[in-house]
Chains A and B, each alone.
Chain A
């Protein structure tokens, strides 16, 4: 009985959905009419219309269909509970205004699965349900009541076969009874089919919501890294454009003042002293800026910045950079930082004779390897350097691998994926 109710429900919901979707199909109906009327002689203008109409329908379906699908799906989820365990909605709950809600809904897989269900409901499930209701329950009732109907003077006609009298009508009663007995089973099968489709298309695993949240988290993390990078570049630019410039100008003014004071006089000596100090500040400012974000990295990328980094090391470095194109700014920043950190570690701890650095592209990743023949035994637990490096790499979804047996050699491998965050325009 519940199945019969479910099937009846399918017919009702299907009917309402038809009413809602129907208007979107008007262009197609017009098209059919044009084709029927035109038969052969279609002129060019009409031809365009003929071509455009299906697209118009499709467009309307895609644009407005989900808006119909959402309430229909909600009703259907509730209806399917008649024959099935409840189905959970796969929708996320967006915060914010109408626009945000629309953006979320139109970009969710769940919405489009519901849309597919709506189409199936209109085209398959509702007609099928109607067929079951009319064919089994409807006919069964009619045949069962055939003697009464005939007695009341109704005409019963089946194909060529005409029921002529009450006696003949009594022969139909068992057929009607059989149909009625079978009808719940037919309805159950139909309702079950409907429910299975509903489960597949209307439900969402909680994991999907989680997955999309994870993607969101990853994205926002990458955005964060990107904004840190942008911020570092901004600080570097400010220091360079303003502080560095002022210091250099100050040094120049002191130089001019020195020229104007008698050579060897106390004034000249203290000016010389001041000049020395300013020069030292300028040097350390240069180091600071290099540490924050090397200008060369911004300008020309890893291909240029890494050789410069290797040159600044006090020990020989064999460097191989095999990159054909620039990576996103945040990736370049992290790879450069990792290389600088690794080389810094070599200088501080390893007593190495040879250090090799390679950077290459491997699929989606930029891979950095730093190998030295020092005494090994590097331990991430001991210093913050290595863990800090690993953290920065991890934020971008990358990996840091370290092998450093006591006695060496030490190998650090860093893999940074070039996906994730958008590349922020370098200002």
Chain B
């Protein structure tokens, strides 16, 4: 973990317990919570006031406990297309992800299940990735998307595993570690996946690669 200038975050979460826990977690990683709010309206105001590097928001929040958090996120993206946003949800709901990925071509967005916070280092790495313009989508969501698409039948089991990790925005080196195979093998798999899905391959930019894969998965 190398140091860089601290990220400034606006955090929206109505559960006090989780919100405060998350705030202290971020603190340990040198991420400053400039505002912690508990409803969608205040979130929009706080972003206008602080101009954060990153927004982390819950989906269900007061007043209606519907998808206010997500709607606020989409609204924020229309106002500030480049604003990085990570949505934390209790549920895998691809519909929500779709809405999010539709904004700013799916750049600088994250959609993670709340329990991913427990894998502290990964979680913080994901936050940084999104703040730098990447896309990070929860593996369970990717799995759901993978189920949706028929051409994936052509992929081998190993290739699917690699695809899911790719869609989460991991580098080949990271995927190799995750699957305990050589990086060269991962390179072969990715090339084969891209070829089978008819996507431009050999793209060195991970974020572009993620985008291509996500775009494919969403049909």
Contact = CB atoms under 8 A, between A and B. Distances in A.
Whether A and B are associated in the same complex: the answer reads yes
Interface of A: 237, 240-241, 244-249, 251-256, 258-259, 275, 278-279, 282, 286, 289-290, 295-296, 298-300, 304, 307-308, 311-312, 427
A304 B59 CA distance: 15
Given A245-B15, A246-B17, A249-B15, 20 more contacts: A245-B17, A245-B18, A247-B115, A248-B18, A248-B90, A251-B117, A251-B118, A252-B117, A252-B118, A254-B118, A255-B120, A256-B28, A275-B118, A286-B91, A290-B91, A295-B90, A296-B93, A299-B60, A300-B66, A300-B67
A259 B29 CA distance: 12
A279 B114 CA distance: 10
A253 B117 CA distance: 9
A249 B17 contact: yes
Given A245-B15, A296-B93, A251 B66 contact: no
Nearest to A276: B118
Given A296-B91, A308-B94, A308-B95, A249 B66 contact: no
B60 A279 contact: no
Interface string B113-147: 01101111100000000000000000000001001
A240 B18 CA distance: 12
Contact of B18 (A249, A299, A312): A249
Contacts of B14: 241
B197 to A, nearest CB: 19
Contact of A240 (B60, B94, B147, B148): B60
**A-B CB proximity, top 10 nearest:** A251-B118, A245-B15, A299-B66, A255-B118, A255-B120, A248-B114, A252-B117, A249-B17, A282-B115, A249-B21
B25 interface: yes
Nearest to A250: B118
A427 to B, nearest CB: 8
6 contacts: A249-B15, A259-B121, A298-B66, A300-B95, A307-B95, A427-B65
A249 B14 CA distance: 13
A57 B60 CA distance: 57
B22 interface: yes
A255 B124 CA distance: 12
A141 to B, nearest CB: 83
Contact of A308 (B21, B67, B93): B93
Interface in B39-68: 60, 65-67
Contact of B25 (A245, A256, A286, A311): A256
Interface in B1-23: 14-15, 17-18, 21-22
Contact of A295 (B15, B17, B60, B117): B60
A256 B148 CA distance: 36
A308 B66 CA distance: 16
A300 to B, nearest CB: 7
A282 B148 CA distance: 25
Given A249-B17, A256-B28, A311 B147 contact: yes
B91 A295 contact: yes
Contact of A299 (B25, B67, B118, B144): B67
If over half of A's interface residues share one DSSP class (helix, strand or loop), that class is named, otherwise mixed; here it is helix
B interface bracket (residues with beta carbon within 8 Å of A): 20 to 34
A256 B17 CA distance: 15
Contacts of A244: 90, 114
- Tell me which of A251, A278, A299, A311 has the highest count of chain B C-beta atoms within 10 A of its own C-beta: A299
A241 B15 contact: yes
B25 A279 contact: no
Contacts of B147: 311
B99 to A, nearest CB: 11
B113 to A, nearest CB: 8
Given A248-B18, A249-B18, A311-B147, A255 B119 contact: yes
Contacts of B114: 244, 248
A259 B119 CA distance: 9
- Tell me which of A244, A249, A296 has the highest count of chain B C-beta atoms within 10 A of its own C-beta: A249
Contacts of A299: 60, 66-67
B216 to A, nearest CB: 17
Nearest to A313: B147
A26 to B, nearest CB: 54
A237 B65 contact: yes
Contacts of B117: 248, 251-252, 255
Contacts of B119: 255
B120 to A, nearest CB: 4
A256 B124 CA distance: 12
A246 B19 CA distance: 11
Nearest to B96: A296
Nearest to A241: B15
Nearest to B148: A311
A282 B66 CA distance: 21
Contacts of B91: 286, 290, 295-296
B72 to A, nearest CB: 14
A48 to B, nearest CB: 47
Given A298-B66, A308-B95, A251 B60 contact: no
A252 B121 CA distance: 11
A312 B22 CA distance: 30
Contacts of A241: 14-15
Contacts of A252: 18, 21-22, 25, 117-118, 120
